[in-house]
Amino acid sequence: KAGVTQTPRYLIKTRGQQVTLSCSPISGHRSVSWYQQTPGQGLQFLFEYFSETQRNKGNFPGRFSGRQFSNSRSEMNVSTLELGDSALYLCASSPGTHASTDTQYFGPGTRLTVL
Amino acid sequence: AQTVTQSQPEMSVQEAETVTLSCTYDTSESNYYLFWYKQPPSRQMILVIRQEAYKQQNATENRFSVNFQKAAKSFSLKISDSQLGDTAMYFCAFILGSYNNDMRFGAGTRLTVKP
């Protein structure tokens, strides 16, 4: 099976712009979670989508949003970019049926730089 | 709130030797799962090992094993016969046993295996 893929791998934006990142989960996986990784804050959970619905949400401002399509592919959007949004954004997929048996598989990440 | 603490920012070990990475966590819940993830310089997070809190037996995956002390809320990772390919950031992670995919990560330990 193909792994989790994320596009683009690298992105450079300026403050105030918006950005959309994409994640394609492993075939058959219905849950997609997004994480932000920075040197200062480490890995932080953004949100999780399951069957096109946001199931869980982390403690991030409303500028961060996401969605999931019927084929389980997911996008996350960050509006009005700030310098502090520079980070590696990781996507993880899992079957989504039950956390007791699920394992999250991570993609390679999208490196976002905000100038 | 659930927190995960890794007190060793960096560690090094000689090839073929054994190294133990420490992790402690804090939760008031009884049903949860613990993980060790590896993030090599290529940045793709890889699951190393998982442990269900209700299981007393320590998980083992080839050269990787854990020492799970539930009362002490400790979850250390032992790597035996260290190999150069084990050089990576290692993250300890925690998730509640529910449909909540909000995984909490420690700050990570950078492990260098020296030839």
Chain B contact for A110, CB < 8 A?
A: no
Give the chain B residue whose CA is nearest to the CA of A110. B43
Average pLDDT of the residues in A70-94: 96
Using alpha carbons, select from B115, B86, B106, B114 the residue that is nearest to residue B8. B106
Cβ(B17)–Cβ(B113) below 8 Å? no
Tokens of B37: 């993830």
Whether pLDDT at B91 is above 80: yes
Cβ(A56)–Cβ(B115) below 8 Å? no
* DSSP 8-state symbol, B58: P
Task: Inspect the interface and report whether the beta carbons of B50 and A103 lie closer than 8 Å.
Answer: yes
Site from B34, B39, B44, B45 to mutate, A interface, most A CB atoms within 10 angstroms: B45
pLDDT tens string A83-110: 999 999 999 998 877 655 678 899 999 9
Q: Which residue has the higher pLDDT, A56 or B18?
A: B18
Residue % of chain A over a pLDDT of 70: 95
Q: Which pLDDT value is given to residue A100?
A: 54
Average pLDDT of the residues in B2-18: 95
Q: Which pLDDT value is given to residue A56?
A: 85
Using alpha carbons, select from B34, B32, B44, B46 the residue that is nearest to residue B96. B32
* DSSP 8-state symbol, A101: T
Tokens of A13: 């934006």
- Which sign does the torsion angle of CA A88, A99, B93, B48 carry? negative
Residue % of chain A over a pLDDT of 90: 80
Whether pLDDT at A32 is above 80: yes
Q: Which pLDDT value is given to residue A10?
A: 96
Report the alpha-carbon distance of residue A59 to residue A83 in Å, rounded: 18
Mean pLDDT over all residues of chain B? 92
Report the alpha-carbon distance of residue B31 to residue B53 in Å, rounded: 6
CA atoms within 13 A on the CB side of B39: 23
Q: Which pLDDT value is given to residue A95?
A: 84
pLDDT tens string B26-75: 988 888 899 999 999 877 899 999 998 888 889 999 999 999 999 999 99
Chain A positions touching B4 (Cβ under 8 A) are none
User: From residue A59, how far is each of A8, A62, A65, B28 by CA, in Å?
Assistant: 25, 9, 12, 20
Using alpha carbons, select from A102, A6, A25 the residue that is nearest to residue A71. A25
Average pLDDT of the residues in B71-80: 96
Give the chain B residue whose CA is nearest to the CA of A9. B43
Give the minimum alpha-carbon distance from A26 to chain B in angstroms, rounded to a whole number. Answer: 14
Displacement of CA B3 from its chain's centroid (Å): 14
Report the alpha-carbon distance of residue B58 to residue B65 in Å, rounded: 7
Asked which of A6-10, A40-44, A71-75, B63-67 is least confident by mean pLDDT, the reply is A40-44
Chain B positions touching A99 (Cβ under 8 A) are 33, 95-101
Cβ(B72)–Cβ(B85) below 8 Å? no
Q: Which pLDDT value is given to residue B109?
A: 97
Chain B positions touching A33 (Cβ under 8 A) are 101, 103
Displacement of CA B84 from its chain's centroid (Å): 18
Average pLDDT of the residues in A20-38: 95
Average pLDDT of the residues in A56-70: 94
Asked which of A23-37, A56-70, B41-55 is least confident by mean pLDDT, the reply is B41-55
Helices vs strands, H then E, count in chain B:
0, 12
Q: Are strands A74-78 and A87-94 parallel, antiparallel or unpaired?
A: unpaired
Q: Compute φ and ψ for B5, nearest 5 degrees.
A: -125, 125
Give me the residue from A31, A43, A108 closest to B101, CB to CB: A31
Band (B25; pLDDT cuts 50, 70, 90): very high
Q: Which pLDDT value is given to residue A98?
A: 63
Give the minimum alpha-carbon distance from A96 to chain B in angstroms, rounded to a whole number. Answer: 8
